[in-house]
Amino acid sequence: ALRGKEYALNEIGSMMQFFIGVKEVKNSAQARQARKDVYLRFHEEVRKAGVFVAPSQFEAIFTSAVHTEEIMKEYSERIRRVLAGLSW
């Protein structure tokens, strides 16, 4: 599981971004402290799991009206499985 792993999820409207290795990101200095090396591994593994997210930790992830609640739940489960398998 994700117990003991620090991460922050920032979201506004249909945009979000995930930062690994930090508890919160409210400014660019905090964003730069995030674990870019782990995000690169996350991006690769989550892509293999069929979830496409921004390749850079500094790009927003966008959702749209075609992303139903069912799809988002499935994506969330895939992302959780990937994160649980990563160490940081």
Residue with tokens 């390749």: 55
Q: How many CA atoms lie within 13 A of 56 on its CB side?
A: 5
Report residue 86 as tokens. 């990563």
Domain count, the chain: 1
Task: Report helix, strand or coil for 11.
Answer: strand
For residue 85, how many other CB atoms are within 10 A of its CB? Answer: 10
pLDDT tens, 28-84? 999 999 999 999 999 999 999 999 999 999 999 999 999 999 999 999 999 999 999
pTM of the model: 0.85
Question: Do the domain assignments include residue 37?
Answer: yes
Residue 3: is its pLDDT beyond 90? no
Question: Do the domain assignments include residue 40?
Answer: yes
Domain that holds residue 54: 7-85
CATH number, position 27: 3.90.1150.10
Nearest alpha carbon to residue 34 among 15, 9, 68, 66: 9
Question: Do the domain assignments include residue 1?
Answer: no
pLDDT at 75: 94
Residue 1 pLDDT grade (very low, low, confident, very high; cuts 50, 70, 90): low
pLDDT at 55: 93
